[in-house]
Structure 1
Amino acid sequence: MAVPLHRLHHVSLHVSNGQKLALDLVSKFGFNVFASTLTGESRQVAFRKGAVVFVVNEGPPLGTVGLNEGQHVIHRHATASHRVDINKERKSTSCLYDVRPHHPVDSVANVCFEVEDVERSFKVLRHLGCDFLVPPTSVEDQNGLVTYSVVKSIVGNVCHTLIDKSKYGGVFLPGFKVAEKHWDLEKEDPTCPVTHLDHITYACPRKSTQQVMQWYEKLFGLQRFFIDRNEDVDEGFVVNQEGVGLRLTAMQYRKCSKAGITLPFADKTEPDCKFVIAESLPHQGRNQVDTFLEQHGSAGIQHIGLYTKNIVSTANALAEAGVQFFSPPPAYYTEVGKQQEIEEAGHDPQVLSQHGILLDTDLHQDHSSLRERNKNKRYLLQVFTKPIFAEDTFFLELIERRGAAGFGEGNIRALWRSVQAYMENERRDSHTDGSDKSVQSAQ
C-alpha cells in the first residue's frame, strides 16, 4: 500500500551563496521573503510567490547563533524510542525539515509534500524498503506541532520531506520566524501573475526511466500521465530525429480531498504539480540532459515550471528585472506553419519573439468543423530562463496553459536547438578565456 501525497508544500534549494540567489529571487523573479531560521550549520530562508514556496539553504558564517536561540521552539523525535535532548539536537541538526546533501555544486535537492500521518507513512515506506535520512521528528511552537521525516529518493541527490501540519495553525512552519506581513491578504502582482508550480523535471541517465517510475508508483502511488495521446506505454514520448534525442515520461499524484491548506492560495482547487522524467537517447550527440548529468554530478532536478496567467506580461516584467531567457532560432516565428499556428491562437509572433516565448497547440482535439476547432483551440505558451546557478544545470520555465495538458512537445526541437546554441557559445567562450589566460601566462 503506497503512501498518498496530499499536496506539494515547498521545494528546497541548497546553494553556496544564498545571498546572491536571494537577491535574484527577489529582485529578478519577484519573490517575497516571508520566513527564515538559523541552525548551527545552515541558514534557511523561505521565498514565496503565489503558491510557489522555495526554501533556500546555505551554510552560515562561523560564529552565528544556533537553532532558533531566543525562540520558544521544541525540537524532538516523535517516537519515544527516538527522543533526543534538545541541546544535543541543536548541535547536530543541519537543517530543519531537510538534510544538507553535501553536493559539489548548487542543487535543487528536496521536494516537500504534506501527508496525513508521518508515523504511519514511516512504517509503510520502511516496510517497502525506503531509505530514511531523518526519522519521524516533531517541531513545536506557540502555534502548534508539525511532524516530518525525510526520505531519500531514487533520483540522484533528490529527497522528499513528508510533513503533517494538521496540528499546526501558523503561517509556515515551527522554527521559522515569519516576516511581519498579512500573507493571506497579499494581492497578486498583475504584471507577474505566477500562481503555482506546474511541473518538476528530472534529468536522468539513459534507461533509468522505468526504474524511477516504478519507485514512485510503489511508494507514493504516482500514476502515469500521458504527455501525448499516441505515446508508447513503455517508451514514453520520444523525439529521435533532426539531431534531437530525448525521451519524456510524466507522472502525477492523486490529490487527497482532506489536504489542509495553510498557505494562501488564490484558487483552492489549484492543479497538482506533475513530475517529468527526461533522458537523452544515444546516437544524436551531446545534449543538455547529458550536460546536466555531467555538471551536476548525478541525476537531479533540471528545471521547474512556474504557472503564470499571463506569460507575455510575466516575461516582460522578468526581462526588465534582468532575467535572461533562451531564444529559439528567429526562423521559429516566421515558418509558415508556426506563424499561422501562433496567429490562429490570437497571438502576435513578433510579440512572442521578444523574449523567446514558444507556442504549442494540442493537435489531438475533437473532430469538428475548422471554425469550431479554431474557436476551441487548446494550446500552451512557454519560455525558459538560462541556468540560475554557475553550472549549466537548473533553470526555470514559465508556462501558461490555454487548455493544453502537455509540456510543449511541438517546441522540443526549437528549444533543443536554442539550448544547444547556448551551450556551444558557453564552451567557445570558455575555450577563448582559457586561451587568453594561457597567452598571458606565456607572456
Structure 2
Amino acid sequence: MRPTATGPSSSAGTPSTVSTGRDIALDALELWVADLSSTQHLLTAVLGFQLVGAPSERKPDEEAVFLVNGGVRVILRQGMSEENPIARHVGQHGDTVADVALVCADPAAVANRAVAHGARVWGTPDAPRIDLFDDGTVCHSVRRAPSFWGPAAREGPRMGMIDHVGYCLPRGSADMVASAYEKVFGLQRADADSLDEVGNKATGMRSIVLRSALGFTVVLTEPVSPASTGQTQRFLDAHAGPGVQHAAFGHDDLFAAVESLRSSGLEFLPVPDAYYDQAQQRLREVPVPWETLRRLGILVDADDQGLLFQLFTRPITRHGTFFIELIQRSGAVGFGANNVRALFEAVQATMDGHPDGVARDEDV
C-alpha cells in the first residue's frame, strides 16, 4: 500500500526538522546478490563481519542473512526462483545495493513528503519504502528503530559507522536527486572541498555531497558530458541504470585495519608512487607517517579540522560495479578532494585495462 499523501504529521513537520534532516540517520545497507554464500564469505572471512541471523522480513523463495561489524549493518538477499523480484532485479543490474535503510522519529512524515515530491512510495506508514527513480535502483526504506545493534566484533579491527554512500546517476539528474534529498529527507548540501568536477570533458564527473545533522551522507556523481566514456557512465552501462557505486566504512585505526585486511586477502586499488610525492609536497608541514602510508596504500588529505585517511578496495561484485571505501577521520570533515582525484584516476586506469572498461572477476 502507499502511505496517504495527507501531509506530514505534527511530530516531524516543523520547519527545522524538515530543513535539516535532524532525525534522519543511516541504519543498514541491503545488498541483493546472485550468490549469497560467496558474498557472505567475503564479508565474514575477509572483512570481519559476524552472522547475526536472518532478517525478520523474508519471503519463502529467498535466502537472507544479517551481518554486523561494529556499527556497520548489512543485509544480504538472494532470490531462489526465476520469478522472485530479487532474482529479476539482479538479473538486470547485477549484484547491487537495493536499499539504503534509514531511521527517523516519524517515517510517515517522510513518506508524505516523498509523495508530495512525486517519488514512488509503498509499504506501510510506519515502514515506507521510497524509490527516487521508480525503478528500484535508488531506494530507501524508513523505520523508527535500527535493525539490530549486534554483538561485539570478533577479534580484529572493528568498524565504526557507515561514513557515506556514493551514487552514480545519469547526466542531468544529480540536481533533481539532490532536491529530493533536501525536500524529502531534509539533507543539506555540504562543502565538498571543491570537488564539484573531476576529470576532463570526455571522462569527468560532477559531484554533489549532502548530509543530515545525524551524519547520513550521500555523494551523488554524474558524467559531465553526454558522450562520456568515463567511470560514471561505465557504471551506468554495466549496472543498467543508476545505483550505489561504493559505501565508506569508518575505522578508528585504519592502519591496523588495512594490515589485517591485506593479510586476509582483500585487494585494494593500487596507488601510484607519484601520488605520495605530490601529497608529501602538499602536506609538508603536517606530521604524517609517509613510509607507512606508501607501504599500505593509504591516501591522506587535510582540511582545517584535521586529517583524512582512506583507501578503496577493488570491485567486489561480479559486474565490477560496487567497491568499498575504508576511511578514518582524524578531525577532518571534508571528503579529501585531492584523494577523490587520485581515486578517479585509479578507477579509470583499472577500467581502461579491459576492452569494455569494466573490471572482471579476476580483479576482485
Instruction: State the TM-score bracket (shorter-chain normalisation).
Output: 0.7 to 0.9
Structure 2 gap segments, 5+ residues each:
1-12, 360-364
Kindly provide the amino acid, as one letter, of the partner of residue 299 in structure 2: L
1:412 to 330, 336, 340: 340
2:302 to 361, 375, 379: 361
Give the C-alpha shift of residue 415 in structure 1.
Answer: 1.9
Question: Is it true that 1:130 corresponds to 2:119 in the alignment?
Answer: yes
Distance 1:327 1:48 in 2: 28
Over 3 Å counting, the alpha-carbon distance change for 1:155 and 1:326 in structure 2 is farther
Sort the Cα spacing of 1:293 and 1:52 in 2 relative to 1 into closer, same or farther, 3 A: same
Structure 1 unmatched runs, 5+: 63-91, 137-146, 166-170, 174-181, 256-271, 366-376, 432-443
Q: 2:355 aligns with which of 427, 431, 434?
A: 427
Across the aligned residues of Structure 1 and Structure 2, the Cα RMSD in angstroms comes to 3.2
3-state SS, counterpart of residue 272 of structure 2: coil
Distance in 1, matches of 2:109 and 2:217, equals 25
2:71 match: 51
Query: Any conservation in 1 of the 2:64–2:76 contact (CA below 8 Å)?
Result: yes
1:159-205 CA distance string (max 9 Å, x none): 1111123xxxxx946xxxxxxxx945x2675x423110001011111
Task: Find the structure with the greater CA-based Rg.
Answer: 1
Residue 254, structure 1, aligned to residue 195, structure 2: no
Question: Does the 8 A contact of 1:328 with 1:417 survive in 2?
Answer: no
Q: 1:203 aligns with which of 168, 174, 184?
A: 168
Shift of 1:424: 2.0
Question: Percent same amino acid among aligned pairs?
Answer: 27
**Other-structure match for 2:3:** none
Counterpart amino acid of residue 210 in structure 2: M
Distance 1:347 1:421, change over 3 A: same
Distance between the aligned counterparts of 1:203 and 1:94, measured in 2?
23
Shift of 1:284: 9.3
SS where residue 55 of structure 1 aligns? Answer: strand
1:389, 1:15 → 2: CA distance? 9
Q: Residues of 2 paired with 1:155 and 1:133: CA distance?
A: 11
Relative to structure 1, the CA distance from residue 162 to residue 283 in structure 2 (aligned partners, 3 Å threshold; closer, same or farther) is: closer
Cα separation, 1, equivalents of 2:189 and 2:163 = 16
In structure 1, C-alpha distance between the alignment counterparts of 2:235 and 2:273, rounded to whole Å:
26
Q: Provide, for residues 354-376 of structure 1, a one-character-per-residue CA deviation record: whole Å limited to 9, x for no partner.
A: 332111122xx4xxxxxxxxxxx
1:266-277 equivalent positions in 2, closer than 5 A: 272-277=215-220
- 8 Å Cα contact 2:211/2:218 also seen in 1: yes
> CA offsets per residue over residues 111-137 of structure 1, 9 Å max, x none?
11112234454444334433123234x
Q: Which residue of 2 aligns with 1:289?
A: 232
> Structure 2 vs 1, CA of residues 429 and 220 (structure 1 numbering), >3 Å: closer, same or farther?
closer
Please list, as runs of the form range in 1=range in 2, the aligned pairs for 1:9-48 lying within 5 A after superposition: 9-37=27-55, 38-48=58-68
**Structure 1 position 219, deviation (Å):** 1.3
Q: 1:332-389: CA deviations, max 9, x gaps?
A: 22x2x42245664333333212332111122xx4xxxxxxxxxxx7221110001110
The answer to whether 1:227 aligns with 2:189 is no
Aligned to 1:339: 280
Note if contact 2:110-2:185 (Cα within 8 Å) is conserved in structure 1.
no
2:272 maps to what in 1?
A: 329
Q: Report the CA distance shift for 1:296/1:314 in structure 2 as closer, same or farther (over 3 A).
A: same
Question: Normalised by the size of structure 2, how large is the TM-score?
Answer: 0.82
For residue 95 of structure 2, the aligned residue among 106, 113, 118 is 106
Per-residue CA distance 1:314-334 (angstroms, 9 max, x = gap): 11111111111001222222x
Provide the aligned length of Structure 1 versus Structure 2. 337
**CA distance in 2: counterparts of 1:20 and 1:415, whole angstroms:** 27
Secondary structure of residue in 1 paired with 2:41: helix
Change in 2 beyond 3 A, CA 1:20/1:328: same
Counterpart secondary structure, 2:161: strand
Shift in Å at residue 285 of structure 1?
Answer: 5.7
Match of 1:381 in 2: 309
For residues 430 and 276 of structure 1, the distance between their equivalents in structure 2, rounded to whole angstroms, comes to 21
